[in-house]
C-alpha cells in the first residue's frame, strides 16, 4: 500500500501543478476532495476485488491536466463535477434527503404539538396557561395542572389563537424549507 500511496501522491502533485487558475486555499480543497475520491475508490475496489490496480484506478480519473481543467471549470463557473466524481454527489443527495426528512418530522411535529396544546386549552382551560402570582412578581406556566397559588391567568383563551398562529407560521416555514431543499436536488 505504501507504493500505492506514493503513486497517489505523485498523481495529486501533478494535479496541483495544473490548478494554477484557482486561489491557493481552493487548490487545497480540490486536492483533498480528489484524494478522498481516490481513497474511496481504492477502498471499494479492494473490497470488491481483494486488491487495488492503482494504475487502472488513476487512469479512470483521467490525466491530472484534464482533471484539473474540469475542476477549475467547475469551481469558477459552476459547471458539473468532472465525470467519475459521483461519490460526492451521492453524499450530497443523501444529506439533503436526511435534512428534508428531519425538517419534515421536526417542523410539522412541533406545529402539530402546538395545535394539540391549543385543543387542550379549549377542552381543559384551567389545566393549561400562564398565571401571574405574587402581585405580578412571579410567572407560572402550567400544562395539565393549575398552579397551587393560582393568581391571575394571563392571556386566557387568547392563548389558543396565539398558539394556532405560531403553529401556522412554523408549518409555513417548514414547507418553504422543504420545497427549497427539494428544488436544490
Give the largest Cα separation in the chain, rounded: 81
Range of the domain at 169: 93-183
CA 57 – CA 48 distance, rounded (Å): 13
Domain end point (choices 60, 84, 108): 84
What confidence score (pLDDT) does residue 86 get? 54
Asked if residue 76 and residue 106 are part of one domain, the reply reads no
Q: Helix count (H) and strand count (E) of the chain?
A: 7, 3
- Give me the pLDDT at residue 143, please: 77
User: pLDDT at residue 60 above 60?
Assistant: yes
* In a shared domain, residues 48 and 103: no
pLDDT value at 134 more than 70: no
What is the predicted pLDDT for the residue at 150?
64
53 or 92, which is more confident: 53
6 & 80 share domain:
yes
| Whether residue 22 is found in the same domain as residue 47 | yes
Same domain, 138 and 74: no
Residues paired with residue 133 on neighbouring β-strands, in sequence order:
138
**Shared domain check, 141 and 108:** yes
Q: CA-to-CA distance for 96 and 36, rounded, in angstroms?
A: 20
Domain shared by 80 and 97, yes or no: no
Domain boundary at 29, 50, 84, which? 84
Residue 19 contacts residue 11 (beta carbons within 8 Å): no
Tell me if 178 sits within 8 A of 100, measured CB to CB: yes
**58 and 97 housed in the same domain:** no
Residues 98 and 121 in one domain: yes
Of the pLDDT bands very low, low, confident and very high (cuts 50, 70, 90), residue 90 is: low
Domain total of the chain: 2
Residues in CB range of 105: below 8 A, 6 or more apart: none
Amino acid at each position: 500500500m505504501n507504493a500505492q500511496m506514493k503513486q497517489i501522491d505523485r498523481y495529486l502533485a501533478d494535479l496541483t501543478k495544473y490548478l494554477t487558475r484557482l486561489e491557493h486555499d481552493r487548490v487545497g480543497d480540490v486536492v483533498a476532495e480528489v484524494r478522498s475520491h481516490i481513497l474511496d475508490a481504492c477502498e471499494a475496489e479492494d473490497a470488491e476485488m481483494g486488491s487495488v490496480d492503482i494504475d487502472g484506478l488513476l487512469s479512470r480519473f483521467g490525466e491530472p491536466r484534464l482533471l484539473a481543467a474540469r475542476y477549475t471549470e467547475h469551481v469558477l463557473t459552476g459547471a458539473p463535477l468532472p465525470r467519475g466524481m459521483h461519490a460526492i454527489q451521492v453524499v450530497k443527495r443523501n444529506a439533503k434527503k436526511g435534512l428534508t426528512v428531519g425538517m419534515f418530522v421536526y417542523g410539522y411535529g412541533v406545529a402539530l404539538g402546538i395545535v394539540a396544546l391549543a385543543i387542550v386549552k379549549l377542552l381543559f382551560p384551567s389545566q393549561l396557561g400562564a398565571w401571574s402570582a405574587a402581585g405580578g412578581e412571579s410567572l407560572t406556566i402550567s400544562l395539565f395542572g393549575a398552579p397551587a397559588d393560582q393568581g391571575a391567568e394571563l392571556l386566557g383563551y387568547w392563548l389558543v389563537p396565539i398558539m394556532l398562529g405560531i403553529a401556522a407560521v412554523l408549518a409555513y416555514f417548514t414547507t418553504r424549507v422543504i420545497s427549497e431543499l427539494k428544488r436544490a436536488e
